[in-house]
Amino acid sequence: MTSKHLLKLCLLLLIFSCQSSHISKIEGKRLNIDEKLTSNQDIENFIKPYRERVNNDLDSVISYAPETYSKSNGELNTAIGNLMADAVYSEGNPIFNKRTGNNIDFVLLNHGGIRAIISKGNITSRTAYEVMPFENSVVVVALKGKQVNDMFTYLSKAKRAHPVSSQFQLTLDKDFEISSASINGKPVDIEETYYVATNDYLYNGGDRMTFFHPNEGLYVLDYKIRNVLIDYFKKQDTLSPKRDNRFIKHNN
Amino acid sequence: MKRREFIQQSTAATALAGIGGLGLQSFMSSETKKITILHTNDVHSHIDPFGPDDGRNANKGGVARRATLVESIRKENPNTLLLDAGDIFQGTPYFNYYGGELEFKLMSMLDYDLATIGNHDFDNGIDGLYKQLPHAKFDFVSANYDFSNTVMDTHVKPYKTFIKNGIKIGVFGLGIQLEGLVDKKMYKETVYHNPIEVAQDMSRLLKEEQSCDLVICLSHIGYHYKKSPDRVSDINLARATKDIDLIIGGHTHTFLPKPTIEKNSAGKNVLVNQVGAYGLYLGKIDFYFEPGKATKAEGASIIV
């Protein structure tokens, strides 16, 4: 074998070796990002002007939370969810009533739409941004009673604490079957029209809530859920949301 | 493939036989190469650390701290990739005020290499995402979103390959079904394809045609759905595919204390990892490479 050939072979060997590396060992771990790490000063300095503008806007105290409220505290209804649905009712109904002469019958939101806890302590506009960072707005949908019944069925199957306002009552038995259901204390009349406030995301089929279509009419309030919360907080010196019996399941 | 292996083996044997003690042995002896994969997911605009009074994550997170950590890891091993599995947007007023500009600028300052697109990255509409692209110095990959009829066309590639210290790494992206999750008026004409079918194609392409040594799936389809275990998820993806070494996930905000090891359709190990949300953690996976084909039947040893 000539040295020229040998060189060629070595080159070939080199190429093949590079192409066929194999994994011999894998090590995986999770690293904490916390106060033990010093902040990179260039990044800090870059964020600063952005932060200052946002903070000046958001950090004035508008209410107070005596407890921490989380959407995981409760099986089918939670204090924070009840607060949100009731806030949409109390802030949204005057606008709806003024425009249409009708009243909202009840509110349905979605559990996944509660994006943060409300921490014990001062409430600021920032709290509303954390809980409802999305730009979703309130819409009121006119629905026949039949579709309200479809909504009851959906909720019984979803088995999640989708927020509803206090006018709504749904009780499930131990097998998640509906044992009682009412709106404003009365059973649902399938021919009656109900005005249901929700957000545009759900109206458009979000969370597979298909019962909003077809409907008897749509009223867009141009009122963001986040602004509902800010307006609601401003009216409450201290929040006092409660878990109650509006949507529950019996265990026997 | 089989033919190439044969040639390679016979060539090596001939060369070794022919040159005897020419010092080739030292070349053959294992020069271990280490590739470090760092990852985040669902950071959701959490730029500042959580405050000391936060009810759940007090004093955790923060981009400036993540920058320090990433920098120190890169100093230790320059052969590092920093990846994000989507939902960069939405979650703090920074997004509402600046539309994602600050998130992209900071990720660029941290030298992110690649990201995929999460459902919340459509929250200001596909036009809102497009508008922020000039602020991102890193690329986006998604293999199962077809953006052909949208403004994002040509701005998102199915996959990207990197060569670090001679090791070829292929990373492809996967996104979640948008219908029913994101308003149609936000994602417009974005077309979703089945992630598992796309992943089977992608992993074959990256492993066989692109000859990647390491194949990574950057996914925003969710870790696993307990109530609907058959729904497309990272776990189901790992089991239904082959040739993927690592699935980096997002969407379900799953705080895995350590990566999950699953068996793929060929019975080989796949790592699935996800670091929850909000930039509270950084995932770190080190891959060690030896030259030549694997000799051990059981494959790589995994320490998690």
ipTM for the whole complex: 0.89
Name which of B65, B92, B101 to mutate to probe chain A: the one with the most chain A Cβ atoms within 10 A of its Cβ. Answer: B65
B117 in a domain, yes or no? yes
For residue A231, what are the CA distances in angstroms to A89, A103, A126, B146? 12, 19, 13, 41
Q: Does A121 touch chain B (CB under 8 A)?
A: yes
**CATH code of B246's domain:** 3.60.21.10
Residues in A closer than 8 angstroms to B55, CB to CB, are 68, 70, 117, 119-120
Answer whether A26 sits within 8 Å of B302, measured CB to CB: yes
| Structural domain of B259 | 33-289
Of B11, B55, B257, Cβ closest to residue A119: B55
What pLDDT, on the 0 to 100 scale, is given for residue B183?
86
Which band of pLDDT confidence, cut at 50, 70 and 90, is reported for residue A176?
A: very high
Question: Mean pLDDT over all residues of chain A?
Answer: 92
Name which of A17, A23, A54 to mutate to probe chain B: the one with the most chain B Cβ atoms within 10 A of its Cβ. Answer: A23
Mean pLDDT calculated for residue range A209-226: 94
pLDDT digits over B165-206, tens only? 999 999 999 999 999 899 898 999 999 999 999 999 999 999
pLDDT digits over A133-169, tens only? 888 999 999 999 999 999 999 999 999 999 999 999 9
* Residue A164 in tokens: 């509803």
**pTM exceeding the 0.80 threshold for the entire prediction:** no
Least confident range of B24-28, B153-157, B172-176, B225-229: B24-28
* Residue B101 in tokens: 């500009």
Number of domains in chain B: 1
Answer whether A134 sits within 8 Å of B61, measured CB to CB: no
Q: Chain A: give the shortest CA distance to residue B180, in Å.
A: 5
With a CB cutoff of 8 Å and minimum separation 6, the contacts of A88 are A107, A109, A138, A165, A197, A225, A228
Residues in B closer than 8 angstroms to A40, CB to CB, are 64-65, 67-68, 71
B95 in a domain, yes or no? yes
| Cα separation, B160 vs B153, whole angstroms | 16
Closest residue by Cα to residue A168 from A199, A140, A196, A206: A196
| Cα separation, B28 vs B25, whole angstroms | 5
Residues in B closer than 8 angstroms to A134, CB to CB, are 90, 123
| Cα separation, B199 vs B170, whole angstroms | 12
| CATH superfamily placement of domain A57-249 | 5'-Nucleotidase, C-terminal domain (3.90.780.10)
| Cα separation, B40 vs B115, whole angstroms | 9
- Give contacts of A 7-66 with B, CB under 8 A: 9-10, 12-14, 16-35, 37-44, 46-47, 50-51, 53-54, 57-58
> Cis ω on the peptide bond leading into residue B158 (within 30° of 0)?
no
pLDDT at B24 over 50: no
What pLDDT, on the 0 to 100 scale, is given for residue A57?
82
